[in-house]
Amino acid sequence: MTKKRYERPVISKHYSGLMNKYGGRQMTPPKTHLDGIAVKELTEKFGSPLFVMSEKQIRNNQQNANRIFKNRYPKVQFAWSYKTNYLDAVCSVFHQENSWAEVVSSFEYEKAKKLGVKGEHIIFNGPDKSSEALLHAIKDTAKIHIDHFDELYEIKKITETEKLKAKVAIRINMDVGVYPKWDRFGFNLENGEAWQAIQRIASNKNLQLIGLHSHIGTYMMSAEAYRLAAQKLSLLAKSIKTDLGIAIEYLDLGGGFASHNTLLGQYLPAEQIVPTFEQFADAIASGIFSASFKTEELPLLILETGRALVDDAGFLLSTVLANKRLADQRRAIIIDAGVNILFTSFWYKHKITPAQESGMHSEDVTLYGPLCMNIDCVRESIVLPPLNKGDRLVIEYVGAYDMTQWMQFIQMRPNVVMIMEDGTVELIRKSENLEYLLDREILPVKFKKSSKQSKTKH
Amino acid sequence: MTNYHLQENLAVSDSGFLFHASTGETFTVNETGKTIIKLLQQKKEKDEIFSQLVNEFDIEAGLLEKDYEDFINQLKNFSLIEVK
Ligand SMILES: Cc1ncc(COP(=O)(O)O)c(C=O)c1O
């Protein structure tokens, strides 16, 4: 006779009105496989914790986004926002799906070039671009999005001394009814600063103004804000044409579409309240059309969508290290993935699902990471079935920002694998070890123990 | 000898629904919890309970201790166990 699966014995009390919250049937089935590969197999082979990216899901997301936008607007170009996830393998999938690169630092820029992205397909954003980086970008004919006047003058100086021409756009911030307003990046539209910058560029023979850029915020839940932004940029482009005779080639609406991760403190699940890609696309297209461009003068629409294209293509597999009870009798579970690699747990209520079958019973627990630091709480409160040491959990929607904002702190960063479309699994980033860490450290000579000393000591 | 015993007037159903007739309180227990309660009702000693669990479930006796004590504590918390 085969034995029944053992589950830690638990009892929970029913409180009237809350009958189904705890102790009830577990709502979600276990997630035993990712893209057909067993979670157990993955952690046995590549260790735990383990980040897993799905090539298939990234491609689906990008193809879907292309289709939805192209059904609503004739000229659309996506540019992959590197900071969202700049693992080479991930960027490569986006580039194969025809996305350009959107970078905000020199090293991201170099990464894109190493991956074979042409200069003219790199959008260089951000407030920090060194003179060397700017010179490099100008020579590559990259699209430089100017953030402030100091940068504008720096570019002017470089083009004069080097006798070069630069293709530039400006980043614009504006009121689109979203608070807090993001006014720290770019030039303000309402107070005339943007127009001033445009005039300075227009009056310089070395600078060619080719685009207008905005990125109104991140995890935006309002499609209407994009309609307003698209409309304002379009009207500005038309004034530039009329007053200065310059035809703006593209409008870049940035990124910021909310993904399906539910925010902490948000009651309803994100799927129910976040606008769909269709709604964002409708809003943006109608914003541009409302400026009544002539058909042949419609600008190219660029999008720098980050999290909404990659969040659901990333998973973090984790293992239960221990069960314990807190002083007030609440149950706590310690898992091997901490906030150092799951930065987004400060914002999101991630979907967390057991990777093995469990009974019908569930209880409210606090999930802690493995770090010996009070801050390492992955979730204050979550309803899970009783888990045994060694059981595995799948943390979902971690494709965006976790693999760039993670840090080595007490624990090293783990392996990252990608499940390929053909069902094979490739290691795309190796876990770190002590050697990797010490490679960057330099111990001053006087602290070094000579072999002689260590001999006398022992 | 154990120094505690389960409250009288407890009814546990096959589905794990637990009713405490003296207080009117209701609870849910999972499969292992239900097995333990039933054995406690039969006044079984700890080692008998362990050997029964090992027979029925995929678990080694050595690993049961911690979970068992934790379960007894939960029962105490809900006043389902009286400490002598
Ligand atoms: C300029 C720019 N573009 C694109 C993005 C990507 O944003 P998201 O991941 O919210 O789509 C960001 C991120 O903040 C950004 O600063």
Shared-domain flag, residues A345 and A254: no
Does the residue A8 lie in any domain? Answer: no
**Nearest Cα residue to A331 out of A380, A370, A375, A396:** A380
Question: Within this chain, do residues A44 and A120 fall inside the same structural domain, yes or no?
Answer: no
B4 pLDDT tier (thresholds 50, 70, 90): confident
Please identify which residue in the block is written with the tokens 């190493």.
A114
Q: Is A371 left (phi over 0), alpha (psi -120 to 50) or beta?
A: beta
Same domain, A339 and A407: yes
- If one compares A47 and A454, the residue with the highest pLDDT of the two is A47
**Between chains, do A9 and B30 touch, taking CB under 8 Å as contact?**
yes
* Residue A360 pLDDT: 79
Closest by CA to A402, choosing from A416, A419, A420, is: A416
Kindly indicate the confidence band of residue A246, based on its pLDDT and cuts at 50, 70 and 90: very high
- Domain assignment present for residue A364? The answer is yes
Q: Does residue B56 lie within any of the structural domains?
A: yes
Q: Quick check: is A345 in a domain?
A: yes
Per the domain annotation, does B49 fall within a domain? yes
Round the average pLDDT of chain B to a whole number and report it. 89
- How close, in Å, is residue B75 to chain A by CA atoms? 8
Task: Give A369 Cα–ligand 1 centroid separation in angstroms.
Answer: 28
In this predicted model, what pLDDT tens digit does every residue of A58-80 receive, in sequence order?
Answer: 999 999 999 999 999 999 999 99
How many whole angstroms from its chain centre is CA A90? 11
Return the minimum-mean-pLDDT range out of A39-53, A117-131, A424-438, B46-60.
Answer: B46-60
Interface test with A, best of B19, B30, B57, B71 (most A CBs within 10 A): B30
Top-confidence residue, A202 or A2: A202
Residue B64 lies inside a defined structural domain of this protein: yes
Specify the pLDDT at position A64: 97
Cα–Cα nearest to A12, from A24, A28, A26, A30: A24
Q: How far is A51 from chain B (nearest CA, A)?
A: 30
Number of structural domains, chain A?
Answer: 2
- What is the reported pLDDT for A452? 55
What are the pLDDT digits (tens) for A102-130? 999 999 999 999 999 999 999 999 999 99
Residues A436-456 have a mean pLDDT of 81
Domain harbouring A156, CATH code: 3.20.20.10
Residue A451 lies in a domain: no
Whether residue A123 is contained in a domain is answered as yes
Entry field: residues in chain B: 84
CB A121 within 8 A of CB A167: no
Q: How confident is the model at residue A1 (pLDDT cuts 50, 70, 90)?
A: low
User: Distance (Å, rounded) from C-alpha B56 to C-alpha B42?
Assistant: 17
The boundaries of the domain holding residue A358 are 33-52+312-434
Q: Are residues A358 and A247 in the same domain?
A: no
pLDDT on residue A14: 83
Last residue in a domain, options A295, A311, A327? A311
Position A105 in a domain: yes
- In chain B, the N- to C-terminal Cα span, in Å, equals 11
In angstroms, the CA B81 to CA B72 distance is: 8
With 0-12 / 13-18 / 19 or more C-beta atoms within 10 angstroms meaning exposed / middle / buried, residue A306 is buried
Nearest-CA residue for ligand 1 atom 12 is A255
Asked if A298 and A345 sit in the same domain, the reply is no
What single letter denotes the amino acid at residue A96? Q
Residue B72 domain flag: yes
A389 DSSP 8-state letter: T
What pLDDT does A21 receive?
47
Instruction: Kindly tell me if the per-residue pLDDT of A81 is higher than 60.
Output: yes
Q: What number is the average pLDDT over the span A35-49?
A: 98
pLDDT score, position A453: 54
Q: What is the mean pLDDT of residues A245-260?
A: 96
- pLDDT value for A244: 97
Reply yes or no on whether the pLDDT at A18 is more than 70.
no
Mean pLDDT of A226-252: 97
A360 exposure class (CB count in 10 Å sphere: 0-12, 13-18, 19+): middle
Tell if the pTM clears 0.80, that is, is over it. yes
> What pLDDT shows up at residue A3?
87
State which residue of chain B sits closest to A1, comparing Cα positions.
Answer: B56
Query: Diameter of chain A by CA atoms?
Result: 87
Q: How many CB atoms lie within 10 A of CB A54?
A: 23
Does A398 fall in a domain? yes
The residue assigned the tokens 């007053």 is A243
A98 and A204 belong to one structural domain: yes
On whether residue A252 sits in a domain, the answer given is yes
- Claim to verify: residue A37 and residue A160 sit in the same structural domain: no
SS3 string, A92-137, reads HHHHHCCCEEEECCHHHHHHHHHCCCCHHHEEECCCCCCHHHHHHH
> Is the pLDDT assigned to residue B81 strictly greater than 50?
yes
We report the CATH number of the domain holding residue A41 as 2.40.37.10
pLDDT reported for residue A253: 98
A126 C-beta closer than 6 A to ligand 1: no
Average pLDDT, chain A: 93
DSSP string, A209-241: EEEEE----SSB--HHHHHHHHHHHHHHHHHII
Least confident of A95-109, A312-326, B15-29: B15-29
Domain-ending residue, one of A281, A311, A341:
A311
Cα–Cα distance between A297 and A238 in angstroms, integer? 10
The verdict on the CB of residue A214 being under 6 Å from ligand 1 is no
The range of the structural domain enclosing residue B53 comes to 4-78
Q: Is the pLDDT of residue A439 over 50?
A: yes
Same domain, A226 and A161: yes
List all residues 6 or more positions away from A15 whose beta carbon is below 8 Å from its beta carbon: none
Judged against a pLDDT cut of 60, whether residue B41 lies above it is answered with yes
* pLDDT of A178 higher than 90: no
A111 and A202 share a domain? yes
Of A158, A76, A88, A146, give the one whose Cα is nearest residue A117.
A88
Among A250, A283, A311, the domain boundary falls at: A311
Q: Are A146 and A263 part of one and the same domain?
A: yes
* Assigned domain for B83 exists: no
Asked if residue A316 and residue A200 are part of one domain, the reply reads no
Q: How many domains does chain B have?
A: 1
Same domain, yes or no: A320 and A240: no
